[in-house]
Amino acid sequence: MEEMVVEEIEKLLELEDDAQLKAYLDDLNISDVEHLIDELPQHAVKFIDTLSVKRAVNVFRILDFPTQERIIKKLSGNKLAELINLLPPDDRTSLFSELKGDAVKKLIILLPAKDRVEALSLLGYQEDSVGRLMTPDYVAVKKDWTVTRVLSHIRRYGKNSETIDVIYVIDKEGVLLDDIRIREILLADPDAKIGELTDHRLISLKVADPQEEAINVFRMNNRVALPVVDDNNVLLGIVTVDDILWIANEEYTEDIHKIGGTQALDEPYLDVPVFELYKKRVVWLIVLFFGELLTIFAMSNFESQIEKVVILATFIPLIISSGGNSGSQAATLIIQAMALGEITIKDWWRVMRREIFSGIFLGTTLCLLSFSVIICWQLISGSLEEPTRIALVVGCSLVGVVLWGTLMGSMLPLLLKKLGADPAVSSTPFVATLVDVTGLIIYFSMALLFLKGVLL
């Protein structure tokens, strides 16, 4: 179906029939137009310019920022002014916050005086705060109004609101008292006062709250929108679930990049220049490179043991990979649990206790497995000297390394959060590198314990 749409559009573009192109584009779903822009990026400006202005706004809202920026630079002045003026305040703020200073100035000039003040006000909030997400377009009523008056108010002002699914009750100073779902108002007695419908089970966001906190609040509550208040509980705006979904997607993508040991990409992968990809990845590789130098330093301190028992070197990859894998598993689980709000810094002891038991169980499993493999190896080849002692060295080392890996992987994200850093920075390569060094120390310490006076 999508291929047929692209082919049809290409034919219309060749015919240069703008009227037929407009009719065809206006008949498509918004998501289909977005797909067309992805497939034919060279015609993105043409599509936006051809669409009726309201549909152009709806398409523009869901495009990624690099595409929005390209369109803004080439779009005709009149269409650009209409587009910017009709963008919802929260989407407009999101766009302005991504653009560079000069571009923002040019676009703000296109806004009416009232909208210009509103845009500058929203941009005044901290970049990652709830204030940047909120829109001042909502329906607010007073608690002493009747249902009839409220419905009349909604008919008059509701079309300019971001959503009318929820109506907000305020006092004469603008202090938020409660929120009421439109369903409750529609089913109520027309002469009932709004104050009689309130249940005071209000959930709101603070304007300075981090956006991650807003994501968690939406996740835990079945709401399409939440009010945003200041420190005095004055209603400033609302945040809708569609904006939260976009932010959640960005946060998730950023965390995945960091967990993989790279800086977050600001654009889709295929749109990022190769040199930019290089810059995003090289920093972490250099850090990990110097981390692995510690592994070489650790091995150099045990050169004499390796020379005497060469077989010890054979099991080094097994030891360090097991520790790195267990640490990466733990780090991924904890980072995800923290992102979902399932655990906090206060839960560190519960996490540690669980990971201690997990590490012991996992390490013991690998210990028994390695012990069996080494004994079978000896039975088949007969090439090992003191196979039981070698098996004990490897098995006990695996218990220690896996236990240490799980503790490092689980505690490091919590420690970084405590220090005010992003837990996702404790990426799986980073944890694996740290565990490599300590794993070697544990391994050769076990070798000295079991083989000293026998093979060493």
pLDDT score recorded for residue 315 = 85
Show the domains of the chain with their CATH numbers: 2-124 (1.25.60.10), 140-240 (3.10.580.10), 269-451 (1.10.357.20)
- For the chain, residues with pLDDT lower than 50 are 1
| Amino acid occupying residue 399 | V
Q: CA-to-CA distance for 182 and 159, rounded, in angstroms?
A: 14
Which residues share a beta bridge with 225?
240
> How high is the pLDDT of residue 79?
84
Q: pLDDT digits over 182-229, tens only?
A: 888 999 898 999 988 888 788 889 988 888 888 888 888 878 888 988
Output the pLDDT for position 336. 78
pLDDT for residue 1: 44
**pLDDT score for 404:** 92
The reported pTM is 0.56
Q: Rounded distance, CA 160 to CA 51, Å? A: 21
Q: What is the pLDDT of residue 214?
A: 84
Residue 421, amino acid:
A
H helix runs in 27-88, sequence order: 30-39, 44-50, 53-61, 65-74, 77-86
* Degrees, nearest 5: CA angle 287-293-294: 100
Q: What does the pLDDT read at residue 256?
A: 66
